Amino acid sequence: MTAASTEPVAGEPVAGEPMTGESLLGEAVNGLPADFVWGAATSAYQIEGAAAEDGRAPSVWDTFSHTPGAVAGGDHGDVACDHYHRMPEDVGLLAGLGLDAYRFSVSWPRVQPGGKGPVNARGLAFYDRLVDELLDKGITPWATLYHWDLPQELEDAGGWPVRDTAYRFAEYAGIVADALGDRVTDWITLNEPYCSAMLGYYQGVHAPGRTSFPDFTKAAHHLLLGHGLAARQVRERAARPPRVGITFNPVVAQPASDAPEDVEAARRADAVGTRIYLDPVVHGRYPEDLLADLAPYDALPPVEDGDLETIAQPLDFLGVNYYFRNVVKPSDEPHGYRSVQQTDRPSTAMPWEIYPEGMTSLLTRLTREYGDLPLYITENGAAFDDTASPVDASGRIQDADRIAFLADHLAAVGRARAAGADVRGYFCWSLLDNFEWAYGYAKRFGLVHVDYATQRRTPKASALWLRDAARACRAGDGGAPVPVE
Ligand code: FCB
């Protein structure tokens, strides 16, 4: 596809074309400051493809997605959005949308195929080109070091439940900091360790598909240790003074009723889904109630001397991914809760309940309990069945439902700021429709539609809406946050 086919994004809407969601713009950006960072996010395995090219070795997600029955439709990331070959075009899309920043992830098995040992220069060169291309277009690169694609060789040696994986991760982080740290200043060590540990090692619905509760807590601890060690490496080795953060998807747990057992289930969900990560990283300790919950399952985190100091590295910001809340009841499983689908409220295609209020309460809670760290929404967005949306004369999907979702969640961010949360930016998930993990290609989160047969990219109406929201925001100023009581 040529650059010409992306042109409508850079230009104004076609004359006479109604600007879907225009009325939502004011409300969405009211409360956001003029210097708010507007971005889009992706991750390596979900978009790159080129799975066996230029020396890349398999990750746990290659193995998992090629395991029969693991991923819907038998889908895998072998080709995905073919971003590896179409990177300049995709950066052109970002530029056309006038976004300030792009959050991407670096593929560990592309850079260091075995997870240890020699660097694969051809793989590393891809990120070198990507960063240059972004900077050339005036877009700030935000690099995530780990978005779930553990080199398969390390999984074969035990994976995240094994302590050595944390040391290997730190070594890899140093390699990337050496290569990109002269141009990248915004670094995220891990994306959502909850998913790597809970979904990957206990629930078995994500790679590597293991189902041991003690392995979950071992994995969680070693991921956090890896975060601390990697943060140190980036700070020591990046040529430009870096800003280092970590991205969590805290579980926003609410009891299904006031019944004590439901309230207790919500406490357990919060302990094992949220505080198990945030407390060690920010406060340097595991919560007492969590340790009491874990002890009967022989699942205490394998803490060694000095680990908690390493884990609690100073942070420059906290990355927050928010999609939905969890309304919970007790369960007999070791993690102690199960989520109850809310049928009386609208949901996305996942189907995840649409609950923007949770964005506000999460951000204000983080500020209250974890201090005045700058916060960035590093992911928020929605999958909808775009085939049900009207398509206009230019072929653009009029995804009014996605626009409403984004507007409502941005307004919720504004409300959190008004209540004192220091939220400084918003990265929409995702730039492109892409490989949605266990759901395969069936769920589309993109601002830009991808026709997987032709790899043609077509920005949806939501892409133009986000561009206009960013513009409107820059033109106004929602003011400074006030302190949380
Ligand atoms: C998050 C992941 C991201 C994407 C969205 C929908 O949990 O970080 O890769 O799959 O969900």
pLDDT digits (tens, 9 = 90+) for 346-362: 999 999 999 999 999 99
CB 87 within 8 A of CB 127: no
Residue type, 66: H
Closest CA to 234 of 183, 173, 188, 166: 173
How would residue 484 be classed by pLDDT, with cut points 50, 70 and 90? low
For range 208-223, the mean pLDDT: 98
Q: Determine the pLDDT at residue 12.
A: 38
Instruction: Give distance in angstroms: CA of 260 to centre of ligand 1.
Output: 32
Q: What is the pTM of this model?
A: 0.95
Distance CA 196, CA 279 (A): 18
Kindly report the protein residue whose alpha carbon is nearest to atom 10 of ligand 1. Answer: 436
Strand partners, 104: 143
Instruction: Give distance in angstroms: CA of 121 to centre of ligand 1.
Output: 28
Query: What CATH number labels 22-473?
Result: 3.20.20.80
Q: Determine the pLDDT at residue 26.
A: 84
> Euclidean distance between the first and final Cα of the chain, in Å?
53
For ligand 1, what atom is nearest to the CA of residue 445?
6
* pLDDT above 70: residue 44: yes
Which tokens is 232 given? Answer: 């140190």
Q: Determine the pLDDT at residue 9.
A: 40
Instruction: Give distance in angstroms: CA of 15 to centre of ligand 1.
Output: 36
For range 210-229, the mean pLDDT: 99
For range 72-101, the mean pLDDT: 98
Q: Is 270 left (phi over 0), alpha (psi -120 to 50) or beta?
A: alpha
Structure-derived torsion over alpha carbons of residues 170, 171, 176, 179, reported in degrees to the nearest 10:
140
For ligand 1, what atom is nearest to the CA of residue 443?
6
Pocket test for ligand 1, best of 206, 350, 429 (most atoms within 8 A of CB): 429
Q: Determine the pLDDT at residue 10.
A: 36
3-state secondary structure of 440: helix
Instruction: Give distance in angstroms: CA of 436 to centre of ligand 1.
Output: 7
Mean confidence (pLDDT) of the chain: 94
For range 54-77, the mean pLDDT: 98
pLDDT digits (tens, 9 = 90+) for 428-471: 999 999 999 999 999 999 999 999 999 999 999 999 999 999 99
For range 291-314, the mean pLDDT: 98
Kindly report the protein residue whose alpha carbon is nearest to atom 4 of ligand 1. Answer: 436
Instruction: Give distance in angstroms: CA of 356 to centre of ligand 1.
Output: 17
Query: 394 versus 274: which is more confidently predicted?
Result: 274
For ligand 1, what atom is nearest to the CA of residue 247?
8
Q: Parallel, antiparallel, or unpaired for β 326-330 and 243-248?
A: unpaired
pLDDT digits (tens, 9 = 90+) for 356-391: 999 999 999 999 999 989 999 999 999 999 989 999
Q: Which residues line ligand 1 (CB under 6 A)?
A: 43, 46, 191-192, 195, 249, 321, 379, 429, 436-437, 445
Q: Determine the pLDDT at residue 24.
A: 85
Distance CA 97, CA 460 (A): 11
Q: Determine the pLDDT at residue 112.
A: 98
For range 222-250, the mean pLDDT: 99
Which secondary-structure segment (H or E) carries 153? Answer: helix 152-156
Percentage of the chain lying above the pLDDT 70 cut = 93
CB 341 within 8 A of CB 330: no
How would residue 478 be classed by pLDDT, with cut points 50, 70 and 90? low
Pocket test for ligand 1, best of 188, 191, 437 (most atoms within 8 A of CB): 437
Point out the residues that are catalytic.
192, 379
Which tokens is 133 given? Answer: 């291309």
Burial class of residue 14 in the structure, from the number of CB atoms within 10 Å of its CB (0-12 exposed, 13-18 middle, 19+ buried): exposed
How far is residue 144 from each of residues 36, 121, 159, 365, measured CA to CA in Å? 20, 19, 19, 24
Residue type, 449: H
Strand partners, 397: 391
Residue ranges of domains in the chain: 22-473
Phi, psi of 29 (to 5 degrees): -100, -10
Closest CA to 320 of 234, 418, 246: 246
